[in-house]
Every structure is written in structure tokens, then in C-alpha cells.
Amino acid sequence: MADSMDEDMEEEPVPLRQELTCPVCQGIFRDPVLLPCSHSFCKNCLTQSMRYNRGCPVCRTVFRDGQDIPNRALGDACESFLKYPEWRPRETPTRQNTCNIHLRPLELYCEKDEEPVCVECVTLHSTHRLWPLKEGAPICKRELGFKVQIFEKKVESYKKMTNKINNAMDHIKIQAGLAEKQIKAEFERLRQVLVTEEAMRLRALASEEEEKINALQELNDKTKNDIVDLKGLVESLKREMGNEDLPLVQNFKTLKQKAQWTEEDPCLAADCLLNMGEHVGALSFKIWKSLQPHVKYNPVVFNPNTASPWFFLSEDLTCVKESSERLTVPENVERFDPCLFVLGAEGYTSGKHRWDIIVGDSPKWVVGVCKESLARKKKFTLSTSRGVWAVVLSKGVYTASTPERTVLQVQQRPERIRIKLNIDKGEVSFWDGGTAKHLVTLEHKFDEKVFPIFGPGLHDAPMVLAPGKMAVHTS
């Protein structure tokens, strides 16, 4: 029983001693006085502190002469405490826990300088906000906690990014499979004279597939490594936050400097997917020299990497129509979503260009050209002021995409729209491809690359790119 009582006496006084310790001298209170702010100090300690500042040494609340009153209850408790020799303080503050300037205990926290200070340092931090150490430590923990939350959220976003990367790689493989099937079919038809050409194009496809997948795999590996590093950083910060208040505050500056993340967030590159137009767009024209009579030429083909997820494109990239359900495609930056558009595979910066679009009896469509920087991931107004030069059919009315919405007088409903683009002259004109009747000409000084743009709308009738006529000239 006696041993048990001795053990209790050893353990119990520690929190009691803290309550009876003056925050200035770090000794048991002697003649304690109480300030209006509810903080207590040795009478002599308060007198010394008032030489430099008329505020409370802990919270800096200003008080007037006579407002400090003897704290008799605290004084009696200190006297009772000191009657037990084994409870008297036996340790002196270590060098690590004292101010390097004044050699006084570090019991305050400067919020501006983010470091612990002693009461003698109050005059050096007169314009700073000071907190008792036990109130300053939670401030540090709170700020580090915010860092932890940010990094934990970043880990989750990086995990989601790996899913997007994996989806993009799967899509590339699907694209490569479709392209390979088309290439093989086309070359089978022309095999006798095009064996060499076929092998060359398959190598080009395989090379780009490998290049794009390797690039994405490298990005994926780096993202996974970043996740590991972020988790390590989070665990390190959590471990440091579990330390005692003073070591935590002393290391806070260093921790805060280490708690930085300068790596760029992962994202899919603008050209991360296969250039399908290069491999299968106007393919027969590209092999014209080998077998000219069998060549099919399209001056424009669709770029599937820009197509809205609600569009289905034919294998040869010349026909687009509504999909019965939203397609699972990568969220690459070139793709239109939520707007319902698709671009041509090739952009233009100079020269004359011409192509026909078969719109048939579709009740709603948009055809024209647009600047390369046109928004892809948000809705926008079809207007020349926004970088779209187009003709629109909607609710039975044909209009040009001028800011004032120019209504076009069309006597006979055209089933085929012809577009003539003259970059150097700064003109894009629209014609009825069946009757060759001029509809409208829009003028603009094109200062960036422009692409054919198509909005087939959501209905059963497809929009088809008509094949072009070829004229072969040699010299």
C-alpha cells in the first residue's frame, strides 16, 4: 500500500506543478497576483515585465495600475505544494528549451516569425501577435493539418489521373486495332502493287502507337511515384505533428519549408492520342501513285480525337452520326464536350481549300471553319467574333454566324454544302453544292490555324464528307 501511495505521489504532481508554475520565471508562484485577463504571475515577475510593456506578458492585454490583485488561493496552494520536498522542481531548463539571447525559458509563440520566444523577447516582437506555447502549438498543427489535407486530396486526384491515363492507353490500343484492320483491308485490295507501301504504313502506325503508349506509360509511372512521394510527405508531417509542442514549434519553419510540392500535376498531352487522320484519313489518295484508278480522295476527313462522345464516326472518317449512347472515350483536351462538334483532321494556315458536305434532309446542322484555339470543354456562341465562320440550319432558318445572325435567303433546300476557303485572301464562302448557287461569303484576316468544323446535330441522318475530284498533272 505504501509503495502504491509513493507511486501516486511521483505521478500526480507533474500536472499540478505545471498549474502552479509562473509563465515568466518558470518557478513555483511567489506572492502571485491575478490580472483582469485571468493570467497570474509572481508579483516580482510582473513588476519586472512592466518595465518593458504595460500588457500581460502572455496575452499582451493592457491593464492599469491597481488592477492586479493578490491571488491568495493560488498562493496558499503553492505553499502547500512546497511543503513536500519530493514535489519541488529539480530540473532546470536545458539550453535547447531556453532563449539564445536572454537564456530564459521559451514559453511564448510568435505567430508572425513562427518561432518560440521568451518573455524577455516581448519587446523585440512588440508588433507581433504572441501566444502561450500551449495555444501556439495547435496553430502550427492546424496549418500543417491543412497541408496534409491538400496532399491527401492531391493523392486522390492523382489516383483518378492514373485511371484516365489507363483509359487513354486502352483507347489508343483500340484505335490502333481499328486502324490496322482498315490498313490491312485497303492493302489487301491493292496487294499486288502495294506490298511495300502496306508494310511502311503499318510500321508508321506501330511506331506511333508505341511512342504514344510509352509516353503515357512514363507519365503513369511518374504519377505513381508522385503518389508514393506525396504519401511519404503526408506520413512525415503526421509524424512530426505527433511530437511535443516545443519540438514541433522549433521545427515548424523547417517542416513548413519541406512541406512543399513543386511537381506539376499530371495531365494528358495535347497530342497524346494517335493521329488517325495521318494513318487512315484519305488513305487511298496517299497511295495514288501505286494504283491511281482505284484511289478514293477526300479533301477533308474527320478527326475522331475531337469528336463529341455522342458521335459515331465511320471507319474511313468520312461519315458522322449520332450514337445511341454516350461513347467511352478519353477526356483529351482536343475533344468537344459538352458541345456537339467534330473538326477536320487537317488545319490550314495558307492556300485555297475546298470540300463538300452532304447534309441531306437533316433538320439541324452547322458547317464551316473555326480557329484552332476555339474552346472545347465549355459551351460557346457560334459567331465570327468567337472564331467560328459557319452556316447554320436551325428551325428551318439558314443563318450565317455573324454577331447579328445574318439570315440567308435560300429558295431550295440544299442537300450538299460546298465550302471554299481562301486563307491568303481572307475569305470563306458557302455554296449550294447541288446548284452551285452562292449563299454567303464571310471575310476575316486569319491570324492562326483554322480547321473545318462540323455540327451534325443529334438525329438519325448522318453527315457525310463527299469525295473530291482528282486531276493528275505531271511535268
Distance separating alpha carbons of residues 396 and 412, to the nearest angstrom? 12
pLDDT in the model for residue 3:
44
Mean pLDDT across the stretch 208-219?
94
Place of cell 442537300: 415
List pLDDT tens digits, range 254-266: 888 888 888 889 9
Mean pLDDT across the stretch 427-452?
96
Strands (E), 311-462: 311-313, 319-322, 342-343, 352-358, 365-371, 388-394, 397-400, 406-407, 416-422, 427-432, 437-443, 450-455
Mean pLDDT across the stretch 64-83?
85
Strand partners, 358: 416, 464
Strand partners, 311: 322
List pLDDT tens digits, range 5-28: 344 444 445 567 778 888 877 778
Q: Which DSSP string do the residues of 88-133 spell out, in sequence order?
A: S------GGGB-TTT--B--EEETTTTEEE-GGGGGGGTTS-EEEH
Q: Which DSSP string do the residues of 321-332 spell out, in sequence order?
A: EE-SS-------
List pLDDT tens digits, range 113-161: 999 999 888 888 889 999 998 999 999 999 999 999 999 999 999 999 9
Judged against a pLDDT cut of 70, whether residue 472 lies above it is answered with no
Report the percent of the chain where pLDDT is more than 70: 92
Higher pLDDT: 253 or 83? It is 253
- Which helix (H) or strand (E) segment holds residue 364: the answer is none
Integer distance in angstroms from the first to the last C-alpha of the chain? 117
List pLDDT tens digits, range 268-325: 988 899 999 989 888 877 776 667 777 788 999 999 999 999 999 999 999 999 998 9
What predicted TM-score, i.e. pTM, was given to this entire model?
A: 0.61
Distance separating alpha carbons of residues 430 and 434, to the nearest angstrom? 12
